[in-house]
Structure 1
Amino acid sequence: MDNIIIDCRHAGGNIKVTTVDGNRVRLEQDLRDTSKWWFYWNFSARSRQSQTVVFEFTNKEVVGPWGPAISRDGVNWDWLGSDSLISRESFSYDFREEDEKIFFSFSMPYQLHHFESFYSRFESHPQVRRKVLTISEQLRPVPLLLAGNGAHDRHIVFTCRHHACESTPSYLLEGLLGYYLEQPKSTVLDNYLIHYVPFVDIDGVENGDQGKNRAPHDHNRDYIDSPIYRSTAAIVNYVEPLRLLVGIDFHGPNKWGGRNDVPFFAKCYPPIKEETDILCEQLKILTMNLSHADDIVYDPIHDVEMGVAFNQPHGRSCSAFFERQQAKLVSIVEFPYFGTHHTAFTQQNCRKFGARFAQALESYLILQLDQ
């Protein structure tokens, strides 16, 4: 009988076990359907006895600065802590009880069940509606959340999880939408209609795929004449008739290091750039002087202009599609997996940053009402 049982048969699970040798487990991330190396993993471990177990990854450095994200129920997550790090390829965990089961992940997961819990808080809100955007390739309903005033022809579209593993922006969006929905009266909801697609690649999210660099191309390179994915084709058909004012696509960057540790915008060419700059300035004002250690700060010095680094014009991305719809403000928001050495990203402070993002966007949108 195995002393340590590794499993990934849960929402978002992803792992390949190489060997189990005593209290040492060697494993690696599963790169199925991925054309390039990537870093996401998520598994559960159950120990039949109390012991210290070493988990060693055999395919490059994939353990973050705070050790793994850890959970006992698969819903609520925290960081195991930097003390658990042996290296960026391995960590240890002290199992203290017989048959103790723990979930470990590269970063804070966000699954469909998280969204369902969020939605349940607001499903009776008079300005909230829920639809099915389309049915995925694996026959999952792709949720579409509407929040605001459908009588006004002013539309905002948020998309997330074009790359399945990029989970932390989902918490930001909970904070963003929750900020508007929790107010007794919201200027934004009274004058605009928000359309939110929380899982563009819902099959990848639930299956635990990397999603990034999916072969033959991933969902964020599918805004082409003949999309190969049902969800991207449905987004095109749904958004094209709208009078789109704002289109923002939310992503996670590379694993860590440099600007990958802080929130940043990937911007468009002028004149859209100048509209995004207004939003960015508001967000900077709201976050730069925060005093709590867990507050997430945004500084536009880290933003990436169009034509710089990865932010190249190619016309195949969701943001490029928003541009073609002549939206006034279009941007990609990149939101890290871990944070800086000063501030670890958690479910709570990601939502808190989302609320400040909502305030910044509110300031921008109020200006639009006067134009």
Structure 2
Amino acid sequence: MPASFMHLMKRLFCLLAALSLPLQAEIRVSTDFEGGNAEVVSLDQNKKTLRIMPKLHEGRGWPCWWYFQVDGLKPGEAFTLEVQAQTKPFREKQVLAAAWCQPKHAWLSNDGETWSPSDAGMLSKDKVMSYTLKPASESLRVAWGPPFVPADAEKLLAEIAAKLPESKRFELSKTRDGRAVNGIRIGDENAPHQVWVGSRHHAWEAGGSQVGRGFIRWYASDEAKALRAQTCLHYIPIMDVDNAAIGAGGKEAVPRDHNRDWADEPTYPEVAAAQRMIREIHQKHGLDAYIDLHNPGAGDGIFFFGPFAFERMTGIQQRNYRRWMELAAANIVKPRPVEPKYRFATYVKTEEERGRMSSGWVRNHTGDFTISVTLETGWNSPLMSVEGYSNTGAGLGRALAAYLDSNPRQP
């Protein structure tokens, strides 16, 4: 057989062998799902390193939330995620500090349902946070924290409605973008006690909705049967549905965010609708408690913001706020105990702005026996998992049961 023919056959064999080898999948990033947000700064396929920053939604508040899917990964092979701050100003000339988008741990999921923290990230001198991820599959969801999107809210409301057939789902309002802000009422409209619990005046604070989910599941449990018999609860899982849906931050939106919109003429239809319902509840029956659920700064634990005038209060008003704090401290103990004293939002400098905060507005439009508080649950810890947030919510429910059992309306 001629040598030239043999050489040609060897080359053909090598080519066929090469073609039979599995090709290295290209790493791809996507955010085309509810709550998705990431702007790719760079992607090195060879080094398997992705750098992102939160995408800026003009006029939609802080660019701090990120949530995306990575495809084309090799299971068991390390992949590096780098997160930097958004470089563009979110409002006028304000650029958001990097710390707000750089939690100690990224949160990972193979199915979009179960979330676990990554190893702790490392912060470089140029303020870039790097996380080493070890995927178990070719696709991975990655987020700033355990997400809670409008679809999760709908799933939760359906779950509670199925468990408590006597409950009533309702639409608070449509948003400016035409989305529904939904809630659920549990209990007789004319019950002796009336309560309003809501989450996510700031869309990026997903942990607030996680706490709310733990609360409402506890509230629907057998343990809360006696409480439900004496109470009418209105529960809203997400107030800022528009920004939660598109992955925008919401806080300090233009002209103002939901938690600063409780004015005589609100910007957001859902805020106006909540004001109308709360006024009606209080006028007909009296409102015992308003509880707003938030996710604060990176260094915070779990605490309540209380009323600025707390030390000057007297009579039933001071007694009820003191009693609430005592019972909250006794019942909110997992995954970490709530601080036993109120904090005060001293960064809000004017009475006018304090009156436009949801808790301040409720305090100013209800009675002396009403408590109006904000529960702030910190986020920068692996303790603040879905389970950790849920335990906080269950503790909140137990505190509420003990508080209403003491009859806060009694002089």
Matched-pair identity in %: 21
Letter in 1 for 2:289: V
Which residue of the other structure, out of 2, 5, 8, is the alignment partner of 2:31? 8
Q: When you count strand as a share of all residues, which structure comes out higher?
A: 1
Matches within 5 A, 1:1-371: 3-22=26-45, 23-34=48-59, 38-47=63-72, 49=74, 51-59=77-85, 60-61=98-99, 62-65=101-104, 67-82=105-120, 85=122, 89-95=129-135, 97=137, 100-124=138-162, 125-152=164-191, 154-183=193-222, 186-243=225-282, 244-254=287-297, 256-257=298-299, 260=300, 262-268=301-307, 269-270=309-310, 271=313, 272=317, 274-287=319-332, 295-301=335-341, 303-305=342-344, 308-310=346-348, 313=351, 314=353, 315-327=355-367, 328-339=370-381, 344-368=383-407, 371=410
Q: Deviations over 1:320-345 (max 9, x none)?
A: 22112214101111111234xxx621
Write out per-residue CA displacement over residues 75-123 of structure 1, whole angstroms, 9 at most, x where no aligned residue. 22111232x54656121223455xx111111111111232233233321
The code of the aligned residue for 1:179 comes to: W
Q: TM-score, normalised by structure 1?
A: 0.87
2:159 alignment partner AA: R
| Kept in 1: contact 2:200–2:294 (CA 8 A) | yes
Equivalent position SS for 2:171? strand
Alignment CA distance shift 1:236-1:369 (3 Å): closer
| Contact residue 62 and residue 251 of structure 2 kept, 8 A | no
Report SS of the residue matched to 2:78: strand
| Structure 2 partner of 1:291 | none
- Given that 2:60 and 2:243 are in contact with CA atoms closer than 8 Å, whether structure 1 keeps it comes out as no
1:305, 1:311 within 8 Å by CA — same for their partners in 2?
Answer: no
Equivalent position SS for 2:222 = coil
What is the total number of aligned residue pairs between the two structures?
353
Cα 1:247/1:146, change in 2 over 3 Å: same
What is the identity, as a one-letter code, of the residue corresponding to 1:162?
A: H
Point out where structure 2 has 5 or more consecutive residues left out of the alignment.
1-23, 86-97
1:18/1:27 contact within 8 Å kept:
yes
Cα distance between partner residues in 1 of 2:318 and 2:166: 31
Give me the whole-angstrom Cα distance separating, in 2, the residues matched to 1:356 and 1:13: 30
The one-letter amino acid of 2:340's match is: P
User: Aligned-pair distance for 1:359?
Assistant: 1.0
Q: Is the 8 A contact 1:282 1:363 kept in 2?
A: yes
Cα distance in 1 for residues equivalent to 2:396 and 2:329: 10
How many angstroms apart in 1 are the aligned matches of 2:392 and 2:349?
24
- 1:238-291, Cα deviation, whole Å (9 max, x unpaired): 22111222111111112x12xx2x111111123355423312211212345xxx
Q: How far apart are the structure 2 equivalents of 1:354 and 1:236? A: 24
Per the alignment, do residues 29 and 2 of structure 1 end up closer, same or farther by CA in structure 2, a change over 3 Å counting? farther
Contact 1:27–1:56 (Cα < 8 Å) also in 2: yes
| Structure 2 Cα separation of the partners of residues 34 and 138 of structure 1 | 14
Structure 1 residue matching 2:139: 3-state secondary structure: strand
In the alignment, is the contact (CA less than 8 A) between 2:153 and 2:238 conserved in 1? Answer: no
Structure 1 residues 49 and 187: CA distance shift in structure 2, 3 A: closer
Q: Secondary structure at the match of 2:407?
A: helix
In the alignment, the residues of structure 2 paired with residue 304 and residue 172 of structure 1 have an alpha-carbon distance, to the nearest angstrom, of: 19
Instruction: Structure 1: state its 5+ residue gaps.
Output: 289-293
Q: Which has the larger radius of gyration?
A: 2
With normalisation by structure 2, the TM-score equals: 0.79
CA deviation after TM superposition for structure 1 residue 31, in Å = 2.5
Q: Is the 8 A contact 2:157 2:183 kept in 1?
A: no
Structure 2 distance, partners of 1:337, 1:351, is 13
User: Is residue 130–residue 144 contact of structure 1 (8 Å, CA) maintained in 2?
Assistant: yes
Counterpart amino acid of residue 102 in structure 1: L
Shift of 1:165: 0.8
2:61 and 2:249 in contact (8 A); partners too: no
CA distance in 2, matches of 1:94, 1:212: 33
Q: 2:409, 2:264 → 1: CA distance?
A: 37
Shift of 1:370: 7.0
Alpha carbons of structure 1 residues 219 and 187: separation in structure 2 relative to 1, 3 Å: same
Instruction: Quote the Cα distance in structure 1 between the aligned partners of 2:170 and 2:81.
Output: 42
User: Displacement of 1:235 after TM fit?
Assistant: 0.9
